[in-house]
Copies of this chain bind each other. A is one copy, B any other.
Amino acid sequence: MREATVGIDRLDGRIIVLLAREPRIGVLEMSRRLGVARGTVQARLDRLQSNGVVRGFGPQVDPAALGYPVTAFATLEIRQGQGRDVRAHLATVPEVLELHTTTGTGDMLCRLVARSNADLQRVIDRVVGFDGIVRAATAIVMENPVPLRIIPLVEQAAQDSEKTQT
């Protein structure tokens, strides 16, 4: 299942961008706007999904609206050989939105949310209240000037593949 970096062309890029801007749009409407046949859009979409370029269309839920307006990043230092256990532990904490193992200072980086700054303490306690975590450094998010985005990269990739061709 090693996905071998599949390129996308301009049409693919436009499909993704269109989908990102108006997710509820249908294949037919897309084909109209892009000026291509419906079958083409359908085939491209199928390919993008089986390619793994487009993973899915899950709902984007705002933690703040759920009552978790505080976001933080925690850098964790792990005791040698405890990685597996720590990962399993963190996976059970709902407030842990994602977890990465990294190089550099610290061994893991995780994104947390909490109901308030006070509640963040509870979350952190739960996160680090586990053997194997030696130390944790937390950075609370104040502002989010660039929310998670992918479109600029998609456009970049679409352009690159064009240049590469011929």
Contact = CB atoms under 8 A, between A and B. Distances in A.
Interface residues of A, number: 75
Contacts of A140: 102-104
A45 to B, nearest CB: 9
Instruction: Tell me the interface secondary structure of chain A in the complex.
Output: mixed
Contact of A149 (B59, B64, B97, B137): B97
Nearest to A152: B94
Contacts of A73: 73, 100, 102, 109
Contacts of A137: 104-105
Contacts of A58: 19-20, 23, 57, 60
15 contacts: A3-B64, A6-B65, A51-B65, A53-B66, A54-B60, A73-B73, A87-B146, A94-B153, A94-B156, A97-B148, A100-B144, A102-B141, A103-B142, A109-B139, A148-B148
